[in-house]
């Protein structure tokens, strides 16, 4: 009995050792299979996220990690791309159509000191006269060409004050509706030498002095090369002219 005693434990020890190694082998095999599985899964996974596999290799033979790592992989696999922050659409403000203010136009005066606003007929004739006068050493200057109705009204109002009545004023300045200046059909020139030259030679170009009392006032009253009509003593308003 005493002899058998030392043998007794050896047997179970051996079997125990065998079973332990068997278990160890089994664990290793199972573990390697699991690792292979994870690697295979990773191989087929569209996104290569190696981190879970590495953690699985760190713990070989442990059945725990692989499923959990597989579970945790999905959220990690989505790479967080830096979202392009939508820049605030700096919309250009709808530009309001600027209210076109009636700016004080210079053209409102029709370039009174030039021949710009004159009628084509008077302008063309005057141009020729200006060239001819220059050849004679005389410089024709425009003192007043076409006037705006507003300017003419202003002049007329001033004349009424000066001469005491509309009738008296009309001998010098006509109201806008009667003025040849507002229509671009009259021109006042300067200096006196130019007025005298044009009074003498204007008929050649169809430009005539019209009034006795206004040596500066000219209009296209005749055909070029023909005599000018007899002068009028002074201007008379066409409308409402009593007498």
- Name the site residues for Zn ion (rule: CB under 5 A): 186, 188, 217
Decide whether 128 or 210 has the Cβ nearer to Zn ion.
210
* CB nearer Zn ion, residue 38 or residue 179: 179
Q: What residue number has its CB nearest to Zn ion?
A: 217
Nearer Cβ to Zn ion (77/183): 183
The distance of closest approach from Cβ of residue 179 to Zn ion in the complex, given in angstroms and rounded to an integer, is: 8
Closer CB to Zn ion, residue 178 or residue 188?
Answer: 188
Is 148 in contact with 110 (CB distance < 8 Å)? yes
Please report how close the Cβ of residue 181 comes to Zn ion at its closest, in angstroms: 6
Q: How far, in whole angstroms, is CA 135 from its chain's centroid?
A: 50
Q: How far is the CB of 98 from Zn ion (least distance, A)?
A: 39
**Choice between 31 and 175, CB closer to Zn ion:** 175
* Minimum CB distance to Zn ion, residue 100 (Å): 33
Residue among 130 and 180 whose Cβ is closer to Zn ion: 180
* Tokens matching residue 242: 């009593």
Work out how close the CB of 176 gets to Zn ion at its nearest, in angstroms, rounded to a whole number.
Answer: 13
- Residue 161's CB is within 10 A of a number of other CB atoms, namely 9
CB neighbour list of residue 54: distance below 8 Å, 6 or more residues apart: none
CB of 147 to Zn ion, least distance (A): 9
């Amino acid at each position: 009995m005493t002899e058998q005693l030392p043998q007794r434990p050896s047997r179970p020890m051996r079997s125990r050792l065998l079973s332990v190694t068997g278990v160890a082998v089994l664990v290793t095999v199972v573990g390697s299979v699991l690792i292979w599985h994870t690697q295979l899964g990773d191989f087929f996974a569209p996104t290569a996220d190696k981190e879970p596999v590495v953690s699985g290799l760190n713990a070989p033979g442990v059945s725990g990690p692989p499923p959990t790592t597989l579970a945790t992989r999905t959220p990690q696999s989505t790479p967080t791309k830096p979202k392009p922050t939508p820049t605030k659409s700096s919309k250009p403000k709808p530009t309001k159509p600027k209210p076109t203010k009636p700016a004080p136009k210079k053209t409102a005066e029709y370039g009174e000191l030039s021949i710009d606003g004159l009628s084509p007929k008077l302008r063309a004739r005057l141009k020729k006269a200006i060239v001819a006068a220059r050849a004679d050493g005389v410089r024709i200057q425009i003192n007043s060409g076409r006037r705006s109705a507003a300017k003419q009204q202003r002049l007329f109002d001033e004349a009424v004050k000066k001469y005491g009545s509309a009738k008296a004023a009309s001998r010098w300045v006509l109201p806008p509706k009667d003025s040849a200046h507002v229509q671009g059909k009259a021109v006042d020139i300067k200096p006196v030498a130019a007025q005298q030259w044009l009074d003498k030679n204007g008929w050649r170009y169809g430009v005539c002095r019209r009034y006795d009392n206004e040596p500066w006032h000219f209009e296209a009253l005749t055909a070029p090369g023909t005599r000018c009509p007899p002068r009028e003593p002074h201007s008379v308003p066409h409308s409402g002219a009593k007498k």
